[in-house]
Structure 1
Amino acid sequence: MLTLEEIIELILKHTKYERKDVLELIDAKREELGRDIVNDDSAAMIVAREHGIDLHQLKPKARTRIEDITESTRSVVLTAKVVGVDRVRTFTRPDGSEGRVASMTVGDETGRIRIALWDEMAKAIEEEEVKVGSIVQISGAYVKKGLRDTLELNLGRMGRIRTVEDDEIDFDIEVPAAASTKLGELKENLFDISVTFVVRRTFPVSTFTRSTDGSEGKVMSVIGADETGTARVIFWDSLAEQMADVEEGEVVRLNAARTKRGRTGEIEVHSGRTSAVDRRLKVKMQAVDIAKGTQPASPSGKASIDTLTADMRDVDIEGRVVTVDELRTFEKGEKKGRRQSIIVGDDTGSVRVTFWNEDVEKLVKVKVGDAVRIRHLYAREGLTGGVELHVGQRAEIEVNPKGLKLDHIDLSDFQSVPTAKPVQKSISEITEEMVNKSVEITGVIMAFGETEPTYLSCSNPECKKKVTEEDDHYVCEIHGVIKNPVPRYLFKMT
């Protein structure tokens, strides 16, 4: 048990009081509770607890352990070691006010748990009062179910957090290493996981400019494999540099990682601020080959428009702007968004490129005829088939960059709709969901239909429906009177 003097020293260390102030607080507490009932030691412990210093938690046998926390636990007091820290994020509440939240993962000898720090509590991470390796004491935390129904602690305005100094405790908190998660068992929104894998494929480091503060970032990725499957593993900033010379066949462990769903739908593993990499591990792994596992889409680099397919990612294109669509707004749940598209043409065809939310600002000065170079796009199947390109977080656009000569591209050769080729499908893959979508199939012609192969169609390039002749004009069931219907060929083949 701590002595009176030790308790006073702890109060002095964690408050702005002077010694005489602490002695007055102790004396006032004895007066309040009764001098015959409470002595100086007990009064000092109460004063310490009222200032967020839980002396009970500093004793190894008495403190709460992570395994003791249940959904019904109230006003949690916990002393544990920080093993992971995430950045502070801002969000907008339903009433329009701005909120802030940060998170950290703490552990003890019985397990790990995530703690969300809300608003003022987030300062502990923002001002780096709390770091990986710190021992912290929290009080007034409440329990909620978080991602994937795991228990999390939340620290709000009624909570407290402080860093515990080495001389305050007479025991060590040893946090067992996180068990390695198998790549074939990855799920979305896992955090603080460890993955060990054989590098099957590597991709070079690339740089990008962050839209939030204009700073430069770096990113590189590998395809990793273990005995259960494959996954893309993405390294950011300093870890991207550390992995720049990685070789295929090398065994790597990434600690304190998280998972998220990639743009093409697969689960990816990402490094974070507190992640660490162990390289050239001398272990034998029975890892699957990429051909046998799930192979994520590869970065594609510079591509001509006629070679685009819906599974491509990290695509670079160059061309001239054919059209600039109007800025559109939309609502998704309670959030509002913005979307604007351009059609870009090169020597081989044209494609729609869509910009989202704050990225639409990149189109403010873009006009028809401009030469553009756009990097780090990803491809998707469009609503009516074909391929569209989309601008993501890392995308960059250069307008009329020096040295890019595209004057030979004649804009009159392009329609107001993109010509990127439709998505290839096998006949067995064609379903009702594909009605009104353009697809491309390859097969053997078995027979021709007997109907007339030509017909007049709507001149709207996004319609193409057959028109009917009424009196002295043609009518489309969707767009009404059509002055100049377009003749088309239709062959029915089996």
Structure 2
Amino acid sequence: MQEIESIINQLCEKTKKDRYEIKKMIEDKQVKFKHQISEIAAAKIIAKELNIELSQKTKKTTNIDEILHFPPGTPDVSIIGIVSRMYSPLTFNKTQGTGKVQHFLLADNSGDVRIILWDGMVDLVNKLNLEIGTIVQIYKGIVRMGKSGEREIHLNELSSIQSSLKENHEENLPKVLERIETPDKIKIENKNKEIDIKGLISSKGEIRTFQKDNREGKLLPFTLSGEKKHVKLIAWGEKADEFTNYNIGDELLIQGSVLKINREDQPEIHVNRRSLVKVISKNNKIPEGAITTNLKMNIQSSDRTISNNRAGEKETVNLIELEQKPYSKIIVRICFVDQARSFTRKDGNIGHLIRIGVYDSSGSNVLVLWDEKAQEAETWTINSIIEVSDVYLRDNPRGGKEIYITRSASMKIIDENGNQIPNNIPIIPINQLNRNWKIASISGKILDISETREFTGQKDGVVGQVRWLRIVDKTGTIRVVAWNDQVLEYDSLQLDELIQIHIASIQIQEGGLELHLTINSKIESNNNFSQPLPEWAELSNIIVPEFPSQGFHIKEFSRTTTLNLDLEDPYVELRARIKQLGDREPYYFACPKCSQKISDDFSDSAQCSSHGEQKPIPKLRIPIVLDDGYGTLYTTLFSPTAEILTGIIERNLMKIDNFDELTDKIKDSILGRDYIFQGILKERVVGEPPRKTWNFNVRNVYNPNTVYEINMLYDKLEEEES
């Protein structure tokens, strides 16, 4: 088809006739020869009779990113690309009979575009056996506007498509096979998007019907397994009928499925009529631990709400294992029971909610129960041990994860006998606080206590109070915030005092984690500890924690070098040596309320623009130059990072008579030493004439972990070799 179209285009161009006239001339020539010659032969005879020399050159192809800017209706589009996804062919009714349509995605290194095939082109593509990874050339496509507003290329009887040799184009096209996901590696960022996934059928349900909008629908549930993980799969409508032909042990490639996140915050693959399913192999061995029983599902007629009654005995796991092993069973002790709350739902029904603090030897969290389960739990008491099945972690809107249960979950109070759960919530090292938990207990020494500050609520205008203290153990430091009446809890505490804080709420902030006191929290001083003081809490001074910190910060910091700094990934991690101090003094004199500089020396009073006359206090502000072997980077350390790195407590600066000695002490403690720095990268303009440079806001500092660094280097080398 490509050759005849090329000849017709040349005849039109050189005779100045329109396409209809040239096609009529070709048909007349075929009639003259009683249809014993092909269309191409007839066109070549006409060209020879008109003394027209035909060129064998084809039209220049276009990159996809250029096509995505063509106006709708642009004809004669030619393109070379690699098939990145195929869809099932569909039939539809039209005025005279039925029509056929099929889609596939075509990719090059500039992007992807949807190709739409109509009628006879669908049959042609089936003959070409197109699949993911096939390289094709398309001629005479037409640019159209799709329903989503994106450009598409439509092919009809005037268009042509043919397979292209891989060796001619493969190196210039993306590796689309690497885009195929598996149950082991599902990218949650593709939620509600189409994906291609490959895996083994490890369980199979039965077709179920339901009513929606006065129409009957149907579905068929499956479990698709990878090497270690499994994902629920639901085939809808006519795909449910198709999936009855597939069996446990079949390896499938499913193209154009949709990744959903179900009500239990777990990924779920939905297969619809456009999805294309290909059997890769049959009778495969199911991975160890895969679910191979039939799935039973309940369908509510009002919508497509589905609950999976997971059969079989549940594995009992510790709280710390729950993220990797959802829908397991936990045995935990209760540390608090909040008052149950009732509310009115949008449909007018009354709902019930209760939050229960629970812990085991591995950690602690909050169990959230609704409706009947919430009412059942109102009779539970502190220190009771409960067994709860079918539990999983779910994001809390305010940060962190809490424990939820499925509709088929079971709950009961059990005896103490044989359960190795401590009587008190475990005390955790600061750098092992987990952002997947909601409550925790810690122990350490008080470094700083703030003044009480008043604030006005933005929503209700109510005036409140807030106060914080900062404590340290051998693994790190953290701020503990008290609100309103709880600020009085800090009045009896002293600097350098060892304390234990029980059942504080973990809050995720921009710089990392904080602990907030709640009505269930309790503070103990060293005179009345209910638990022995952990080894990591007993320290005489600040210690720089060893890298890496376990799950402590909300942001992931990417290891890089000064050569590869990039604003697209501003949360960076550097291993660098402190080469020298900057030109400024490593301290300044600040307002005690807002920490803004108000004086050049240790005077009796100075004027703050926000708080009036104040007695200035010395604060650390250490300018340093970092050298990672690839280049240098300038930054400034403030507290608490400056305190952690130097071991100098800011409040003790009030006792210093000679600040020159302070500078020498800082140099002795940090110059020439290697650390791991984590921080946020920004661009700034300095100097005259203006020039751009980096501003590196250090958030965390650690001592290098030699074993970890060596392992990371090995991993990098293996990745490069593979």
TM-score (norm 1): 0.39
Which fold has the larger relative contact order, with Cα–Cα distance below 8 Å and residues 6 or more apart in sequence? Answer: 1
Larger-gyration structure (1/2): 2
